[in-house]
Amino acid sequence: MDFFEAQARARNRTNRLVLLFVAAVLGTIGAGYLAALFIHGSMVRQEASFGATSPWLYWNADLFIPVALITVAVVGVASLIKWTQMRAGGAAIAASVGGRAISPQTTDLHERRLLNIVEEMAIASGVPIPAVFVLEGEQSINAFAAGLKTTDAAVAVTRGTMEKLSRDELQAVVAHEFSHILNGDMRLNVKLSAIVFGILVIGIMGRGLLYSLGRGRVRGGGGKDKGGGIAFLLAIGIALMIVGYIGYFFGRLIQAAVSRQREFLADASAVQFTRNPAGISGALKKIGGYALGSQMTHANSAEIGHFFFAQGFRSNFGGLWATHPPLADRVLAVEPRWDGKFFEPPAVVDVARESFASAKIGGTPPLHREVLPSARIPFVPMAVIAEIGALTEAHFQRAQTALAAIPESLRTAAHDPLRAAALVYALLLDATEPTQAKQCGLITHHAGDATAETTRALHPATLTVEPSGRLPLLQLCLPTLRTLSREALAQFVTTLDELIHADGQVSPFEFALQKMLVHQLEALRTPSAAVAFHSFKAVEKDIAVVLSALAYLGSGDDRDAVRRAFGMGAHQVKLLDELALLPRPACGLTQLDAALTRLAQSSLPIKQRVLAAAAHAIGADGTVTIEEGELYRAIAASLDCPAPALAGA
């Protein structure tokens, strides 16, 4: 899967969605105008009846213009309000349907198994570890991913999904949702929800008006005036309901049409990632076999029905509203020789019968563990670019290898809100005693004696972590750091910065660590940052800073090697003919940080070219070090492009 091509397809689908939305709004305006024309004609008892043969009697500009303006205003404002609510991120959407955030410290074996799977997949694909939620009141089998970007994504599964599926099946469902994260489907889903709500709100207004009339809450004058007023309001309420639900009908059709084909792609991606078709087909067969299937009970579930792994509500109108393909079609797509039989549940709930060993809760299946080298690694720039946003079995194995090499004490600390920050600090402690003492003093000053003591206690274990395991360990810390209060988070960022600068210099690893953590934590506060730069010319200097910094980092004092590395990178940005190598003082890590901040606001084609150019600059000699690989992944992360661990790194 090409990450940039998938994102471009998502943008094209969004453009088509806008056209369909405009068509639905125009249809709503037309229905509203006809209703208004009928009410107006009835109330004023026009001489020309509504059914007159002259077509000109259907046109009333004085009536059409206000109806059109009011309809557009109501639909637009309602959609904007819903969009504003949902742009708070995936966690807010999960909470809106009753989701409970799973604590990284959970001792529930089903929750622990789910967290392990999500962590493995996030590290394998290079995305920040999403927040994980469980829908406690739902005993059916279903799940969804929500958010606007990879940095604010959340994965939610029902209690039934955790308890009824084996590890392989649960892994396939999570892989399906990760495909939606990487394909840009999440943002499209949010837009769909906002649009459908905007059209539906007209019907909600009509229903509210009729409810008020029925409860006697609308009062007017006495006598004939009162009777006429109520009749007028009743007619308006009925008209609004009819118009609103006509629009809602077509809105649901749009929602279903945009959603269905993406499910086949996500199923295929899950098979590609896990190399286990039985996982996804097994989950689908269990949905077909259990009485509850994938049906959701929460009142808000239908609103985000197109988010789910499987059909979350009953489809009306002969399947026209179905947001997902039929289960049988999905099973046949991954298992062509399927006999047509769904799962037959036992008389007792299967979780009560299934042992932890058979469910594979206690561990992960054995995999071939590749040896992670610490020297230079072969590096093919275009292969690295192709792996951005990829879901493959090889990435999954690398992630499991990296996680298995991390001491259990550190993994436990990464999930502990009281120790996660101290673990990050421990990774930054200097090898020399004077600098380390200064750093511990800074930690005491900002975070207190207890945190400083915890940092010292964790430091020896961090020395046993291979260089290739440092970024995965940081990724494990991120979900826990998200739970810190705003004040605690600000204190953490300040302490982090002072620790890095304690010795008066910043190493590439320290830069990568700070850039990844701070960018991903800040992205939670502003998940929907607008694109500010669409022109390569507008960010020419920033691109020059990035390529110059990487050229100096990989080539040292060899001027010829520096120029060659910069030239190979610059060749990938052919629209900038005058791109020039900068002097070393003009492209230090401070300048690199500022350049990446601006490039993060660029359009996706610019980001794609920058990452291609950076890969060629780093790999000018055909190899890369662990440190260079970490820096490249930090650059990709700061541009919101998920880069998995490099092969062998």
Which positions are catalytic? Answer: 177
Cβ count within 10 A of residue 391: 24
Please say whether the beta carbons of 247 and 195 come within 8 A: no
Contact 127, 478 (CB under 8 A): no
Furthest C-alpha separation in the chain = 98
Return d(Cα 620, Cα 126) in angstroms, integer. Answer: 23
Residue 569 to residues 261, 363, 576, 613, Cα–Cα distance (Å): 38, 43, 12, 4
CA count, 13 A, side-chain hemisphere, 541: 8
Residue 307 structure tokens: 């988010």
The angle at the Cα of 648, spanning 645 to 649, to the nearest 5 degrees, equals: 45
Torsion of CA 313, 318, 323, 324, to 10 degrees: 100
Kindly report the length of the chain: 649
**Closest by CA position to 146, among listed 87, 90, 194, 189:** 90
**What is the bridge-based pairing of β-strands 377-378 and 623-624?**
antiparallel
DSSP-assigned beta bridge partners for residue 158: 135
Q: Which residue has the tokens 């889903």?
A: 189
DSSP bridge pairs for 146: 154
CA distance 474 to 456: 18
**DSSP one-letter string for 11-24:** HHHHHHHHHHHHHH
How far is C-alpha 397 from the geometric centre of its chain's CA atoms?
23
Which backbone phi and psi does 637 adopt, to 5 degrees? -65, -40
> Cα separation of 213 and 232, whole Å?
11
Containing 77, the helix (H) or strand (E) segment is helix 61-86
**C-alpha torsion angle, residues 19, 20, 25, 29 (rounded to 10):** 100
- HSE of 241, CA atoms in CB hemisphere, 13 A: 12
The helix (H) or strand (E) run that includes residue 424 is: helix 420-428
Locate all alpha helices (DSSP H) within 501-642, ordered by sequence: 508-523, 540-555, 559-570, 589-599, 604-618, 626-638
In sequence order, what E strands does 360-447 have? 377-378
Three-state secondary structure call for residue 301:
coil
Helix (H) or strand (E) holding 144: strand 143-146
